[in-house]
Amino acid sequence: MQITVTVNGTAHTREVEPRLLLVHFLRDELRLTGTHWGCDTSNCGVCVVQLDGQPVKSCTVLAVMADGREVRTVEGLARGAELDPIQQGFSDKHGLQCGFCTPGMMMTCRALLDRNPDPSDTEIRVAISGQICRCTGYENIVRSVHAAAEIERAAQEVHQ
């Protein structure tokens, strides 16, 4: 099947098998390897990307289902050299160790901040509760999201 998927603002047209998973489309077809794969059962969330702004597990979406839609991956977070606040937050607060879960965590948390600019600890934990990190024990991920929220608030104050 031929599909056209817009990924990080660029439209990609490809001939794909109907069974191809979005995660493999991104990784193998487009060579955007920042989105990872980690389980067979939609439990781990290292594959999370945004589909039309909503976080989804790209191992549980067929590439053909993304036809005509917008996908945002970790590679689409930074604007040139400028990091997205969520990336800055993870770096400042040691929100990652091996980094394997990190892109998925950041995509989910980016979407969280978009709808809730000042989430509580619990709201952050609930947002990432469908994802697993084996390294950080989550504490510093929570701190990272708070830090990102703070960066965004500070930036807004400057704007106003």
Partner 1 sequence: MSTDTTGVAAPGTPPTEVAPTQVCASTPMGYGSMRRKEDARFIRGQGRYLDDIALPGMLHGAVLRSPFAHAKIVSIDTSAAEAHPKVKAVITGETLAGLGLAWMPTLSHDVQAVLATDKVRFQGQEVAFVVAEDRYSARDALALIEVDYEPLDAVIDARKALDEGAPVIRDDLDGRTDNHIFDWEAGDSAATDDVFANADVVASCDMLYPRVHPAPMETCGSIASMDPVTGKLTVYTTTQAPHAHRTIYALVAGLPEHKIQVISPDIGGGFGNKVGIYPGYVCAVVGTIVTGAPVKWVEDRSENLMATSFARDYHMHGEIASTKDGKLLGVRVKVLADHGAFNGTAQPSKMPAGLFHVFSGSYDMAAAHCAVTGVYTNKAPGGVAYACSFRITEAVYLIERLVDVLAHDQGWDPAELRMKNLLKPEQFPYTTALGWEYDSGDYPTTLQKALDIAGYAELRREQAAKRERGELMGIGIAFFTEAVGAGPRRTMDILGLGMADGAELRVHPTGKAVLRLSCMSQGQGHVTTFAQIVAEELGISPDDIEVVQGDTDQTPFGLGTYGSRSTPVSGAATAIVARKVRERAKIVAAAMLEVSPDDLEWEKGRFHVAGDPSASAAIADIAMAAHSDLELPEGVEGHLDATCVYNPPNLTYPCGAYICVVDVDKGTGQASVRRFIAVDDCGVRINPMIVEGQVHGGLADGVGMALMQLMAFDSDGNHLGASFMDYLLPTAMECPSWELGETVTPSPHHPIGAKGVGESATVGSPPAVVNAVLDAIGVRHADMPLTPAHVWRAMRGEPIRTDLAIG
Of 2-10, 76-84, 96-104, 117-125, the segment contacting ligand FES by CB under 6 A is: 96-104
Task: Enter the tokens of residue 27.
Answer: 């990784």
Of 25-33, 75-83, 84-92, 134-142, the segment contacting ligand FES by CB under 6 A is: 134-142
Q: Is 87 in the site for partner 1 (CB under 8 A)?
A: yes
- State which amino acid sits at residue 13: T
Nearer to ligand FES, 99 or 117 (CB): 99
- Starting at the edge strand found earlier in the chain, the sheet holding 10-15 runs 10-15, 2-7, 70-72, 48-51, 54-57
φ, ψ of residue 101 in degrees (nearest 5) = -85, -15
Contact call for residues 122 and 72 (beta carbons, < 8 A) = no
Q: Is 6 in the site for partner 1 (CB under 8 A)?
A: no
Tell me the site size for partner 1, rule CB under 8 A: 61
Residue ranges that bind ligand FES, judged by CB under 6 A: 37-39, 42-47, 57, 59, 96-102, 133-136
